[in-house]
A and B are shown apart, each in its own frame.
Chain A
Amino acid sequence: MVLGSIHIDTALVLVVLLPLIGAILNGLFGRFFSRRVVNLVAIGSVFASFLLTVGLFLSLRSSPGDGIHTISTTLFTWIHVGSLHIPASFQMDQLSAVMTLVVTGVGFLIHVYSTGYMADDPGYSRYFSYLNLFMFSMLVLVLGGNLAVLFVGWEGVGLCSYLLIGFWFTDEAKAVAGQKAFVTNRVGDLGFLIGMLMLLQMTQGSLDFDVIESSLGLKQQDTLNFVTLMFFVGAIGKSAQIPLYIWLPDAMAGPTPVSALIHAATMVTAGVYMVARLSFMFAMTPLTLALIAIVGGVTAIFAASIALTQRDIKKVLAYSTVSQLGFMFLALGVGAFSTAIFHLTTHAFFKACLFLGAGAVIHALHGEQDGFKMGGLKKHLPITRWTFLLATLAIAGLPPLAGFFSKDEILWSAFSHQHVQGYPMIQQIALGLGMVAALFTAFYMMRLYLLIFHGSYRGDDHHLEHLHKPSWGMKSALIILGALSLCGGFMGIPHGDLNVFAAWLAPMFSDTASLFKTTQEHSLEYVLMAVSTGIALIGVGIAWVSYKDGIGQLPKSLASRLPRLHGLLLDAYKVDALVELGIKRPFRGFARFCHRVLDTLLIDGLFVTGTARVVAGFGAVFRRIQTGDVQHYALLIVLGMTTLLYIAFI
């Protein structure tokens, strides 16, 4: 097959490598380039990557047959030791094609947006170099032909996340936030690594997905449970689920486009992608699936409840992301793998749009992030306002916007799928959690929109007078993402031939589909739709009543009547303090113990200084023999000789 004049394997490799080339060029020579050249390198490489992806997607689509279509290519043999054989290979199938389109597409828009947002930053070329490096890592992650290559991307995106959160590293709080993200991610990565090594033992030296799939059948259930659990731990870390979500709200220290790209649209969804990629394995372990559903549901409602009271607009969006990721895991947990990917896609659209909108607001107000100091911006930033409104309604789940279809399908799957084997109540619990989380979501998103754009301005007048208007690059990214939030959901209209998204992914999950049959009448889905639309309307309505003219009476009186609950939500359930007390402090204590006892006392004291002391002590004793008196020495020689002769002859 030939794609234009480029061979299809070359195209696949280029998709991955172009951003890397961009990163290297800008990273090494960026400071000698003018901004125009930096833009050309950074955006050009990602745009070329996007175009090639579209080409590959079209060629996948035109492949004959119903099964899994795969384009794969091997660059070189990476590891070959004994029976262990790991090639550096890339593959694109239906699942990774969707992911690659989202990553390169949204990534391209955010690159364009960044040219406006970062225009005055002295680290301009460094920023784009990191951003391109992230694109490369993410593409390695989604296109990796085996788990080891996927893991390289997995670690790479973690590194880029660290670099970009701490992009303004002269501010210590931001540097610390970067470290927090990195360290928390490492906890999850350990799980991933353990799972991968155990798989290596099962497959006797291969990490290719099809080899893993074919060698699972004979294995013991306990081992398999453990392996999937370990992979889920990895997903928890990367995708910010309870209890490892704590890094994501702090990750908002990075530039806002970074929050949009890495901490909303792409990197944090890597865990979802990984579970979907290994769905054949997770489907065999109902225990892990049940756990995933519960963790996802609890995370969804937990994070959403924190978002209800936050003042920092980026914090609201951060907790909203955690919550939406919870929805995706809920879907994975009830076996609705393609629905999870659908929500991942629509979420990438509307959440990127929201973050970029928030970024435009922050940019306009010279870095102000407190929602309580905004208001009435709708006449100043009309394009931002309309796109933000669209995305808000989309995430709230109002028809016919993107979020409605995907969220509704998740709830429907939780409601209708055959029970996860042996865990009958899981789905009902998950459904309940999801419903309440959806109500919260509608409320806090509408609240956020109203706080920013409606009512009267409550902040510093000086900022309003010198308002930064968004550049054309920022506007165009917002408009495209707003449009996608509006109509992205039509890919997945439930039932029949209209659901092109599910049909496209169906071959990927055909093996597992039989395990998760729908047990309810399809007509019930319309009832569920009506209910969830009603829930969304209630949430939006309460927010409208409370915040349409600034901060209204209802929230004020609630906050004063329930001060403890309000404080608890405002402090995000004091989890950071809890982590400080329960994890960081013991660890610091342990580190101090290692430093003072093991290092200073044992190694320095006993082993190093101690050895020297012993030698010095012996010296102090034996130096007394060396009197310097010749006659002493002579006497000793005589005595010694006499003794020797005595021993020798008598």
Chain B
Amino acid sequence: MSIPISWYLLVAMILFGIGILAILTRRNVIVLFMGIELMLNGCNLTFLTFSRSYGNSVGHVSAFLVIAIAAAEAAIGLAITLAVFRHKGSVDVNEVRSLRG
């Protein structure tokens, strides 16, 4: 007996939703990154689910691509965060709003 596809998708959606909530509500930049990772992984789970259910490997490829890009993004993001911290002495996003019009 197999687990129905909708369950996988439900988990993926919950992951994605938690990620969005984290981004919209938390102030710590590090936590925002974690939220982004959660959203990416939610997406990855969706890719894999459909890939398995249709027996098509394109989804796997996409998931690997996302993982690779997420790693690069994390590296750049953390570097920027470090620079901001050195500059402002804080990683609170509310402190960083110099682009205000």
A residues neighboring B (CB under 8 Å): 623-631, 634-635, 638
- Interface 9-residue window, one of B2-10, B54-62, B68-76, B93-101: B93-101
CB distance B100 to A638 under 8 Å?
no
User: Chain B, interface size: which category?
Assistant: 10 to 19
From A625, A631, A638, give the contact of B101 (CB < 8 A): A625
Query: What residues of chain A lie closer than 8 Å to B100, measured between beta carbons?
Result: 626-629
- Is B13 engaged at the interface, CB distance under 8 Å to the other chain? no
* Closest CB in chain B relative to A636 CB, distance in Å: 11
Return the chain B residue nearest A627 by Cβ.
B100
CB distance B99 to A631 under 8 Å?
no
Query: What residues of chain A lie closer than 8 Å to B97, measured between beta carbons?
Result: 627-629
Return the chain A residue nearest B101 by Cβ.
A626
- Is B67 engaged at the interface, CB distance under 8 Å to the other chain? no
**Which of A626, A634, A638 is the most central at the interface, judged by chain B CB atoms within 10 Å of its CB?**
A634
Return the chain B residue nearest A629 by Cβ.
B97
**Bound CA span A65–B2, Å:** 130
Q: Which of B5-48 contact A (CB under 8 A)?
A: 20, 23-25, 32
Could you jot down 11 A-B contacts, CB within 8 Å? A628-B96, A628-B97, A628-B100, A628-B101, A629-B93, A629-B94, A629-B97, A629-B100, A630-B32, A631-B25, A638-B20
Return the chain A residue nearest B94 by Cβ.
A629
Return the chain B residue nearest A626 by Cβ.
B101
CB distance B101 to A624 under 8 Å?
yes
Query: What residues of chain B lie closer than 8 Å to A631, measured between beta carbons?
Result: 23-25, 93
Query: What residues of chain A lie closer than 8 Å to B98, measured between beta carbons?
Result: 628
Query: What residues of chain B lie closer than 8 Å to A638, measured between beta carbons?
Result: 20, 24
Kindly list the 5 A-B residue pairs having the minimum CB-CB distance in the complex, ordered from nearest.
A626-B101, A628-B100, A628-B97, A623-B101, A628-B99
* Closest CB in chain A relative to B76 CB, distance in Å: 15
**Bound CA span A626–B97, Å:** 10
The prevalent SS among residues of A at the interface is helix
**Bound CA span A623–B101, Å:** 5
Query: What residues of chain B lie closer than 8 Å to A625, measured between beta carbons?
Result: 101
CB distance A635 to B24 under 8 Å?
yes
**Bound CA span A629–B97, Å:** 5
Query: What residues of chain A lie closer than 8 Å to B23, measured between beta carbons?
Result: 631, 634
CB distance B99 to A626 under 8 Å?
yes
* Closest CB in chain B relative to A137 CB, distance in Å: 66
**Bound CA span A638–B35, Å:** 14
**Bound CA span A626–B99, Å:** 7
**Bound CA span A396–B7, Å:** 127
**Bound CA span A631–B20, Å:** 10
Return the chain B residue nearest A624 by Cβ.
B101
Query: What residues of chain B lie closer than 8 Å to A634, measured between beta carbons?
Result: 23-24
CB distance B93 to A630 under 8 Å?
yes
* Closest CB in chain A relative to B39 CB, distance in Å: 11
Return the chain B residue nearest A622 by Cβ.
B101
Return the chain B residue nearest A634 by Cβ.
B23
* Closest CB in chain B relative to A273 CB, distance in Å: 75
**Bound CA span A627–B93, Å:** 12
Return the chain A residue nearest B20 by Cβ.
A638
**Bound CA span A631–B96, Å:** 11
* Closest CB in chain A relative to B95 CB, distance in Å: 10
Return the chain A residue nearest B35 by Cβ.
A634
Query: What residues of chain B lie closer than 8 Å to A630, measured between beta carbons?
Result: 32, 93, 96
**Bound CA span A631–B24, Å:** 5
Return the chain A residue nearest B100 by Cβ.
A628
**Which of B20, B24, B94, B101 is the most central at the interface, judged by chain A CB atoms within 10 Å of its CB?**
B101
